[in-house]
Amino acid sequence: MHEMSLCESILQVLEQSAADRGFARVRTVWLEIGQLSAVEPEAMRFGFEVVTRGSLAEGARLEIVELPGQAWCMQCAKTVRVQQRFHACPDCGGRQLQVTGGEEMRIKELEVD
């Protein structure tokens, strides 16, 4: 359900770009999705196919680049990898983490005609 809303937002961006940049069809969409962004790539693919039917992106390929979750640990004073937002620092077990990467939900580039 969440991914469906996101796919509708993606379609809005595609339609706007088509008007601004002068293209008629979208063949491929590259997304950058962070691991902490609560987006399920499979649900995204499904939603994308459904939402783009009858649009300028019908049948387009969806390429999802997953970006790792990263946080700055204040105890260790360094960047550590995190799998989930509520996980503790893998090195010191502390919870004073500032997420620095992995929240991305970005449309990176398009292949168009």
Partner 1 sequence: MSQGRMVQIEQDILSKNNEYAAANRRFFSEHGILALNLVSSPGSGKTMLLTRTIEDLKGELAVTVIEGDQQTDNDAERIRATGVKALQINTGKGCHLDGHMVGHALQRLKPADGGVLFIENVGNLVCPAAFDLGEAHKVTILSVTEGEDKPIKYPDMFHASDLMILNKTDLLPYLDFDVEKCIDNARRVNPGIRVLQLSARTGEGMAGWCRWIRAARQLALVEHPELAASA
Shortest Å, Cβ 53 to partner 1: 15
Cβ–Cβ under 8 Å, residues 102 and 37:
yes
Does the protein bind partner 1 through residue 96 (CB under 8 A)? yes
Footprint of partner 1 on 34-73 (CB under 8 A): 38
Shortest Å, Cβ 78 to partner 1: 18
Q: Which stretch binds partner 1 (CB under 8 A): 47-55, 63-71, 75-83, 100-108?
A: 100-108
3-class secondary-structure state, position 38: coil
Cβ–Cβ under 8 Å, residues 79 and 71:
yes
Read off φ and ψ for residue 36, nearest 5 degrees.
Answer: -95, 10
Does the protein bind partner 1 through residue 75 (CB under 8 A)? no
d(C-alpha 53, C-alpha 56), whole Å: 8
Does the protein bind partner 1 through residue 17 (CB under 8 A)? yes
Q: Residue from 41, 72, 81, 85 that binds partner 1 (CB under 8 A)? A: 85
3-class secondary-structure state, position 58: coil
Q: Residue from 21, 42, 77, 93 that binds partner 1 (CB under 8 A)? A: 21
d(C-alpha 41, C-alpha 108), whole Å: 15
